[in-house]
Amino acid sequence: MAEISEVEGVTHREGGIAAYLRRVWVVAEKDVRAEMRSKEVVGTMAAFSVLAAVVFGLAFDLRVPRSELVVPGILWVIVLFAGVLGLNRSFGSEVDRGTLAGLLLAPVERSAIYLGKAAANLLYFLIVEALLVPALLILFDVNLLKPIVLLGLLLGTIGYVGVGTLFAALTSRNRARETLLPVLLLPVLVPLFISGVGLTSVILDGRATAEAWPWLVIIGLFDALVFAIAFLLVDVIWEKG
């Protein structure tokens, strides 16, 4: 066994906004690297999304005259429920493996941990949505690949990930977190859900794009509010470490 040698001089980099962003990146990159090996979160979310789309396809196939009437709701319902599956693992896996304490022991702002986790979650959501949108095209023959719909989906996903990551942190150390998270999260997501469905319906119905802008503004305001509240609350959540 190697002898213990003198410790090399350990020096730290300077702080500042660049250091903050670097820490956000470090947390996100670690999550994505681990996820690429386990495929635990994206695999579950993707499988659920495609299966749910198929089930909705079977359920509405014979009864709905125009698929455009139901696809906006189906899209956002699937995103909502698939998201809960993924968000539960965001901090839950850290608690289960005892690594959350490692993050909290590091000289890192709690908000940097939150943002890093949110960034990783956003990537998972976008991957799943990239599979879901073509699946809906195949199953319902409805093309969601329209710039305003995709912009709404992106902004809606950012807001969802923002509030979802915060609530996942809040419930992570609760034994009933898997049931608690959706119970807390879904009511808060109602404005986002209504706006997302409203925006998608406007575009799929072929109405004027101007009618979609109010929905986009609501989603944008929701996002801004969510991240502002998250920054205020995130330190309190981990007050006791």
Interface contacts to other proteins, rule CB under 8 A: 1-5, 7-8, 10-13, 15, 19, 22-23, 26-27, 30, 33-34, 37-38, 97-99, 101-110, 239-241
Measured from the CB atom, the residue of 172 and 195 that comes closer to other proteins is 172
The smaller minimum CB distance to other proteins, of residues 32 and 151, is found at 32
| Separation of alpha carbons 39 and 35, rounded Å | 5
Cβ at position 48, least distance to other proteins in Å: 21
Task: Give min distance, CB of 33 to other proteins, in A.
Answer: 7
Cβ proximity to other proteins, 46 vs 103, nearer residue: 103
SS3 per residue for 125-192 = HHHHHHHHHHHHHHHHCCCCCCHHHHHHHHHHHHHHHHHHHHHHHHHCCCCCHHHHHHHHHHHHCHHH
Distance CA 104, CA 110 (A): 8
Measured from the CB of residue 96, what is the shortest distance to other proteins in angstroms?
10
Residue 31 or 223 with smaller CB distance to other proteins: 31
Q: How far is the CB of 107 from other proteins (least distance, A)?
A: 4
Of the candidates 187, 195, 71, the residue with the CA atom closest to the CA atom of residue 132: 71
